[in-house]
Amino acid sequence: MELEDKSAASSGGIVELTQTSLISRLLYPNPVCMLTVWAGNGEQAPATSAPLPDKAAAVRPRRNVMTISWLTCINNQVGLVFCAVNKRRHTASLLRVGRSFVLNVPVQGMEELVLAVGGCTGKDEDKFDKLNLDLCQPGWTDLDTMIEDGGDRLLAIRPCVAHVVCRVEAVQDKAGHLLLHCRLQRAWVRPDYWNGKNFIPQRPGVPPYFTFLGAQTFGYVWPHPPPSSSSSSSSSSTSSSSSSSSSS
């Protein structure tokens, strides 16, 4: 059955997706993402094995960003997706049932940022400030009025080409990882990456997003056939950059 594109374009040509079967398609290629989360107001700072002094505990970051590539759609009709997060990561202490977060999709040219996000922990310092991340609300609107979902503030990374809002519905503790059962809420994508049905660069010169191939190698995702004869005929190319898919 042909999908009906019920997307609505907002100001500036940004495409907002509300139909879960279409939001799921942003995750079909298993893109490397940067997960951003900000714990809701009133929640205690996460506990650590060694208690911090009261002053330090009061300022411990309750927001964080990590790289993630272990995710997959379960049922696109109802918008269910699986994410796996190592329990030792600081982000795992901020994710719980009912918590909302944003998956941000980076593109070619952002490899160093992805590696920097994966190369440090947000346990005792704010990674957003440390890395001077350019932040916005999901959908590339300014931070003047913060979007909240169930009491959680939603932060997105401006240079990324897609923002996907997810909410945790169940958590399993398995083999040292948290298996998060999440439901897709809303998504926004740059029009150069969306043709009404597929998440893919739409013309030559548009930087591709990337996926993790293992052994510290990224692959870049292109359409096949390519947008023009001048584009590479390969469906993916690789980079020797180190991957940070297990970062905190």
Q: Where are the beta strands (DSSP E) in the chain?
A: 8-9, 15-17, 33-38, 63-68, 71-75, 80-86, 100-105, 135-136, 148-149, 152-153, 156-157, 162-174, 177-189, 210-214, 217-221, 236-239
Domains of the chain, first to last: 15-41+60-220 (2.30.110.10)
Does the pLDDT at position 239 exceed 50? no
Torsion angle (degrees, nearest 10) of CA 195, 146, 69, 248: 160
Give the confidence band of 148 by pLDDT, cuts at 50, 70, 90.
low
Q: What is the DSSP letter of 93?
A: G
- Among 124, 70, 71, residue whose Cα is nearest residue 243: 70
Other Cβ atoms less than 10 A from the Cβ of 242: the count is 14
CB 35 within 8 A of CB 90: no
| Rounded alpha-carbon distances, angstroms, from residue 126 to 36, 120, 122, 131 | 12, 10, 6, 9
Q: Euclidean distance between the first and final Cα of the chain, in Å?
A: 40
Provide the pLDDT for residue 233. 39
Mean pLDDT of 133-142: 94
**pLDDT per residue as tens digits for the range 167-222:** 999 999 999 999 999 999 999 999 999 999 999 999 999 999 999 887 667 899 99
Provide the pLDDT for residue 40. 65
User: Burial letters for 107-134: b for 16+ Cβ neighbours within 10 Å, e otherwise?
Assistant: bbebbebbbbbbeebbbeebbbeeeebe
Mean pLDDT of 79-96: 92
Percent share of the chain, pLDDT over 90: 58
Q: Tell me the residue type at 9.
A: A
Provide the pLDDT for residue 196. 94
Q: Token pair of 70, please?
A: 């272990």
- Name which residue leads in pLDDT, 96 or 237: 96
- Name which residue leads in pLDDT, 122 or 2: 122
> What global pTM score does this model have?
0.82
Q: Tell me the residue type at 92.
A: A
**pLDDT per residue as tens digits for the range 102-120:** 999 999 999 999 989 988 8
Provide the pLDDT for residue 18. 93
- What are residue 23's phi and psi, to 5 degrees? -55, -40
Arithmetic mean of pLDDT over the chain = 81
Give the confidence band of 161 by pLDDT, cuts at 50, 70, 90.
very high
- Alpha-carbon 185 to chain mean position: 13
